[in-house]
Structure 1
C-alpha cells in the first residue's frame, strides 16, 4: 500500500514512473510465460512448416507450388477457426527457370563443371549456350575503368564476397548484393555478353544462391547467373593461372505474362476497436529450386501460430489481429503493395505490423520503424522479453512486405533472430525443412505472439 501511495504521489508531481509502474508488469510477465509454455508444449508451427516445405515445396510466384501454398495456409487458418479467412487477389510476375543450367570453366584442354543458377528475371542464353573469355572484377568502378575495349564480347565475373568481418550478416549482404541486382546491366553497357556473380553467402559450398536481378531501363539485356562460392574460387584461380580462361554457360529461363495469385489473410476480431488492425506476417513465395524453409516458410507459420496461440489461450483482443501470408516478396513485392493499397482504399487503420523474414533461428530482438515516442513505448517492455533471450528492441528495421504500410503511419516491427547462419541457406537449394530447429522456430512464434499481446493491450 505504501508503494502505491508513493507511486501516486510521484505521478501527481509529473515525475516519470519506472516501467513496472507504467505497465502491469507482473500480470504481463505471467501471461507471456503462458504464451511461451503454449508455443513450446503445444506448438503447431513446425508441422505446418513440414507440410509447406516437403509436401508442397518450391513456391515461386505464378507457379503451381505457390497456388497450392495459398490453398494450404487458408485451410490451416480455417481449421484453427479464425474469425475470418479471406484471399486478396494479386497479379504477380511469372518467371520460370526451364531446364537445369550448365557451366564449365575451360582452360586449355581442361574443362571443369561448376554449379550455377540463373538469376530471377534473367533472360536465357542463346540455344547451346555462350562461351567467352572472362573478366573478373569486384566493383562497378573497377569494371568501368576497364572500359569497352577490354570488356566487349566477354563474360563479366563479379567476385566481391560478402564481408566476413561484419557481425551483422545483413550488413555484409547489403555490401555485396548490388552486383547481383544490377551487375548484368553494368556489364552490358560495356559490351559484355554475359554476367556471372559470386553467390551471396560467406560459406564455401557447391550451392549456387539465386535471387532477383533487374535490367536498367533501355539497357541491353544479357544472361545473368550466380555461381557457387566454391565455383567462384575455382574460376578466380583459373584466371590467375591462365588469363585466357573461358567460361561456357547455358540457361533456359523465360518471363511469362503476369499470373493471378493471392495474399492469404486470417483474422481474430477485436472486441473494442475491431476497425483497428495489428498485422503479423511473412511471405509465402520462395525460389523455385528451394523448399523455402527459412525464407520464408518459417515466417509464415510463425505468424499463423502467433495468432493461434492467443486464440487458444482465450485471449480477446482489443484490436483485430491479422495473420498475413504475402505473395511475391522475392521478385516483385506485389503482395505487400497490394495489401497496403487495399488498407488505404478501405480506410483501415493499422496500428502496427510485425514481419518475420530473417529465418527461423533463435529470436534476439525486434527492429522498430516508428517515432521516437513509439520506440520508447516498445522499449519499456525490454524487461518482459529479457528472460527469453530477447535483448534488442529497436535496432534494425521492419520488413519488405510491411514496408508500404509505413506511409499510413503504421509502426513496423521486424523479428530479428540470430542470423549468423541465415545466408548459408538464403535462396539456395539447401534451404530445406531439416535446416530449421523446431525449438528455435517455436521461440520465434512465441516472441511474435508476446509482441502482438503487448501492442494490443497498450497501443501507442
Structure 2
C-alpha cells in the first residue's frame, strides 16, 4: 500500500509539472506577442491624441464610446455591444482664478487651483473671505460654527509620504476632497480649498470628485497645488486674518445618455460563464486621461486581441468592458452589475486596471479564502516577469458593485510610485506612458485571464 501511495504521488507530481510547463509556455506566448507585436500603445495614442479628455457627458466621451466599439469590431471579437447608462454632466467652465489678497509679507499672491469635480461655481464675482486651515474633520468640528462661519476652509492634510503603498496614502487623505466641502458647509463656511492629493511637491493642482451631502448648502470648492498649499500654510502662520479669493464657473447640467462598451470572445465549453476585464473610458477634462484610465481601457481590449493573436480559444466567455463615469458617479459600474443581475449572468471573476500604465508588479484578489489561495498558487508562473505581489485583497471601483453577487474581484497592480504625480492633473498625457511598461501590463493581465479561464476560481 505504501509503494502504491508513493507511485500515485509521483504520477501526480509529474502531471502537475507538465501542466505548469504548459501554462508557462502559453504565458510566454502571450508576453512574446505583446512585446513584439503589441497594439495597446498605438490604441492609447489614438484615444488620447485624437479624442483627448473624456469627462462623462462630453462630446469627447461620446467619441470614445464609438471609437472603442469600432476598435473591438475591427479586431473581430465575437460580440460587441453597448449598455445604455445615464451619467452626470458636470462642466468646468472658464479657467479658475485664485489668489491671496492681503498678505502682510507678499501682498497679492496668485495660486494654482482647479475646481473639484461636481462642485458648484462661484460665478463672476468669486468668493472672498478669511481662510482658516484645518488638518481633518475632527479639528473642523472642534473649531465649530463660531470660528468657521463666513470663512473659507483650507484642508491641508498631505498624503503620508512614509507609506510605500501610495494608494493607502491616497485613501488616508482623500476624504477631505470627497466630503470636505460639505463638512465645512455644516459650520457655515462659504468655500473650501483642498490640498491636492499628490505624492509630489509641485505647482500642478489635482482635481477629483466631491460629494455634496443632502440638506447642506453646496459651497464652491477648489484643489490647490501642493506647493501652493505649503506656501499658503506658511503665510497663515504669520497672518491668521489672511484673506483668499477664488473664482470658478463650474456647473452641473442635467444627466445625459451614455454607454458602457462591451466586447467579448465566446467560450467554447462554458459560454455562460463570464470573465470580465475592464477599465473606465471616462477621464477628467484637464488632460488626455492617459494613465487614468486610457491605459486600463486599451490594456483590456488588448487582452482579448492577444488571445486571438496566439490562437487561444477560451473555455469561458472573456468580456472586455469600457465602463463609463467612474470619475464622478460610478454609474457605468453600477449599471453593469444591475444588468448582470437582471440578466442572470454568472461571472467567474472580474479584473480591473485603473492604476495607470506603469510596470506590472502584481494582482490583488477579494473573494473567498479558497479563491484567494488558488490565485496565489499561480505566483511561480508570474515570477519570471518580475510580477511578485500576488496578494489577498483587491479589485477596483467599477467592478466593486459585482461583489454583491459574490463575484471575486481582482485588481491589476502596477508600480504606483509615480502614479500620483499624474492622477487627475493637466499632465496625464500620452507622453507620460512608457510603451514597454504598458505592453507588459497587458500581457500580465492576459496571462491572469488565461489562468482563470483554464482553471476557474
Displacement after TM superposition at 1:332 (Å): 0.6
CA contact (8 A) 1:124 1:223 kept: yes
- Distance in 1 (CA, whole Å) between partners of 2:172 and 2:378 is 33
Q: Which residue of 2 aligns with 1:10?
A: 9
Name the SS for the 1:289 alignment partner.
coil
Q: Sort the Cα spacing of 1:167 and 1:7 in 2 relative to 1 into closer, same or farther, 3 A.
A: farther
Aligned counterparts, 1:389-428, within 5 A: 389-428=386-425
Q: Check if 1:50 corresponds to 2:45.
A: yes
Displacement after TM superposition at 1:151 (Å): 1.1
Aligned counterparts, 1:174-193, within 5 A: 174-193=171-190
Displacement after TM superposition at 1:396 (Å): 3.8
Of 101, 119, 122, which residue of structure 2 is paired with 1:122?
119
- Distance in 2 (CA, whole Å) between partners of 1:202 and 1:240 is 24
Q: Check if 1:102 corresponds to 2:97.
A: yes
- Distance in 2 (CA, whole Å) between partners of 1:147 and 1:417 is 42
Aligned counterparts, 1:241-256, within 5 A: 241-256=238-253
Displacement after TM superposition at 1:22 (Å): 7.5
Q: Check if 1:68 corresponds to 2:63.
A: yes
- Distance in 2 (CA, whole Å) between partners of 1:436 and 1:131 is 39
Q: Which residue of 1 aligns with 2:324?
A: 327
List runs of 5+ in structure 1 lacking aligned partners.
Answer: none
- Distance in 2 (CA, whole Å) between partners of 1:33 and 1:159 is 47
Name the SS for the 1:281 alignment partner.
strand
Displacement after TM superposition at 1:23 (Å): 7.2
Q: Sort the Cα spacing of 1:180 and 1:18 in 2 relative to 1 into closer, same or farther, 3 A.
A: farther
Per the normalisation by structure 2, the TM-score is 0.96
Displacement after TM superposition at 1:20 (Å): 7.5
Aligned counterparts, 1:186-335, within 5 A: 186-335=183-332
Number of matched pairs:
453
Displacement after TM superposition at 1:127 (Å): 2.8
Aligned counterparts, 1:437-456, within 5 A: 437-456=434-453
Query: Please, what is the CA RMSD of the aligned residues?
Result: 1.7
Displacement after TM superposition at 1:412 (Å): 1.0
Q: Which residue of 1 aligns with 2:30?
A: 35
CA contact (8 A) 1:19 1:380 kept: no
Q: Which residue of 2 aligns with 1:434?
A: 431
Q: C-alpha deviations, 1:297-335, integer Å up to 9, x for none?
A: 000000000110001111111011111000000011111
Name the SS for the 2:401 alignment partner.
helix
Q: Which residue of 1 aligns with 2:134?
A: 137
- Distance in 2 (CA, whole Å) between partners of 1:50 and 1:166 is 33
Displacement after TM superposition at 1:206 (Å): 1.2
Q: Sort the Cα spacing of 1:125 and 1:19 in 2 relative to 1 into closer, same or farther, 3 A.
A: farther
- Distance in 2 (CA, whole Å) between partners of 1:7 and 1:321 is 40
- Distance in 1 (CA, whole Å) between partners of 2:423 and 2:161 is 16
List runs of 5+ in structure 2 lacking aligned partners.
Answer: none
